Amino acid sequence: MSPTRILVTGGAGFIGSHYVRTLLGSLGPGDVHITVLDSLTYAASTANLDEVRHLDSFRFFAGDICDEPLVNDLMATHDQVVHFAAESHVDRSILSPAEFVRTNVLGTQILLDAALRHEVRTFIHVSTDEVYGSIATGSSAETHPVSPNSPYAASKASSDLIALSYHRTHGFDVRVTRCSNNYGHRQFPEKVIPLFVTNLLDGRQVPLYGDGLHVRDWLHIDDHVRGIELVRTGGRPGEVYNIGGGTELSNRDLTDLLLASCGASPEMIEYVVDRKGHDRRYSVDWSKIHNELGYTPAKNFADGLAETVAWYRDNRDWWEPLKTRAELLAKTC
Ligand code: NAD
């Protein structure tokens, strides 16, 4: 049987590149060819794909998901799409929302249109728990109405709705995943865990928003990638699947764990003015993917965090240039 040809968008970013390395690695399914389409924004790292670059089953295209002719050409030779490409940082969406609407909403629609036109078999749209908005108690199931608060979350909720509309209108096989906060190695050092770890490794303070009592569920990228694969290979068309990690922590508790991992004291915390509109708590109910597809998060959080901290300690070459890039960008925003 010929291999399934998968177009992976955003495959030079944190989660997309982990997905590609996993599928093309020794424990991958072995029957897939992958093309990455990535416009290499500030958040990308081509080094994330070094491990797979030499493989015959891998191709890379530097390009924008909003480039209709390019997307149309690429789509013609693919069986499936796994769509990660996005502007992904909430803080940046507050400062410059236009790029979030362009990439996350328009880009998704352009991909869907081309995929429909070329009769692509399956389109996996990777989304986020942030589309549900803040939830004080309990957990959001897939039937929970979307109620996004930040421009980032609103752009992702919009793209989810557009993706699902292609199923309802055209019967196109679209599947949406909504995961909680990812962590692991190769995450861009603007996101809280790598930002705090790299600051601490440099002997700098960590900026904790507000009272630090905002709560997030933490999902290791290995578990996320496994969840996406279960949905790609066994999910149902037109369905949404939440993917959770099973470890809820306040940002303050997370910070304490990071301080301990880096041998730093609580004086290294700098309490800063809260993010505008900062959602208090996210929590997803992932019983659907568990019951239908057998998903359970496998990574113990303490182990995953220790491995992540160790990776940043050992890989300054990877993150130092990206951190400089992030800091320059923050100054120009
Ligand atoms: P990331 O910012 O690390 O990577 C995004 C990638 O998309 C980058 O390589 C970038 O160059 C590429 N990209 C951006 N705009 C593009 C465009 N117009 N055309 C082509 N490529 C473009 O993001 P990530 O953390 O890996 O997130 C991947 C997906 O998972 C996103 O859709 C995000 O919304 C979702 N998600 C992430 C998290 C998380 O905790 N990181 C949580 C929930 C959902």
* Ligand 1 pocket mutation, candidates 7, 8, 14, criterion most atoms within 8 A of CB: 14
Residue span(s) of the chain under CATH 3.90.25.10 come to 183-216+247-277+300-327
What's the CATH fold of domain 183-216+247-277+300-327? Answer: UDP-galactose 4-epimerase; domain 1 (3.90.25)
Pocket of ligand 1 (CB under 6 A): 9-10, 12-16, 37-41, 43-44, 64-66, 84-88, 103, 107, 126, 128, 156, 179, 181-182, 188
How many whole angstroms from 263 Cα to the centroid of ligand 1? 31
Is the four-CA dihedral 21, 222, 104, 107 of positive or negative sign?
A: positive
- What is the chain's pLDDT, residue by residue, as a tens digit (333 residues)? 799 999 999 999 999 999 999 999 988 898 999 999 999 999 999 999 999 999 999 999 999 999 999 999 999 999 999 999 999 999 999 999 999 999 999 999 999 999 999 999 999 999 999 999 999 999 999 999 999 999 999 999 999 999 999 999 999 999 999 999 999 999 999 999 999 999 999 999 999 999 999 999 999 999 999 999 999 999 999 999 999 999 999 999 999 999 999 999 999 999 999 899 898 999 999 999 999 999 999 999 999 999 999 999 999 999 999 999 888 887 776
Q: What is the pLDDT of residue 78?
A: 98
How many whole angstroms from 293 Cα to the centroid of ligand 1? 25
Q: What is the spatial distance between Cα 37 and Cα 85, in angstroms, rounded to a whole number?
A: 8
pTM above 0.85, yes or no: yes
Residue span(s) of the chain under CATH 3.40.50.720 come to 4-181+220-243
Q: Would you please indicate which residues are annotated as catalytic (active-site) residues?
A: 129-130, 152
**Coil vs helix vs strand at 269:** strand
Q: What is the pLDDT of residue 18?
A: 98
Q: What is the pLDDT of residue 328?
A: 87
* Ligand 1 pocket mutation, candidates 84, 150, 242, criterion most atoms within 8 A of CB: 84
Domain 4-181+220-243 is found in CATH 3.90.740.10: no
Report which ligand 1 atom has the smallest distance to the Cα of 183. Answer: 40
Q: What is the pLDDT of residue 331?
A: 78
* Ligand 1 pocket mutation, candidates 36, 41, 129, 220, criterion most atoms within 8 A of CB: 41
Report which ligand 1 atom has the smallest distance to the Cα of 187. Answer: 3
Q: What is the pLDDT of residue 333?
A: 63
Q: What is the pLDDT of residue 161?
A: 98
Say if residues 243 and 180 touch (Cβ distance below 8 Å): yes
How many whole angstroms from 114 Cα to the centroid of ligand 1? 20
End-to-end CA distance of the chain: 50
Q: What is the spatial distance between Cα 325 and Cα 328, in angstroms, rounded to a whole number?
A: 5
The CA-atom distances, in angstroms, between 29 and each of 26, 109, 110 are 8, 29, 29
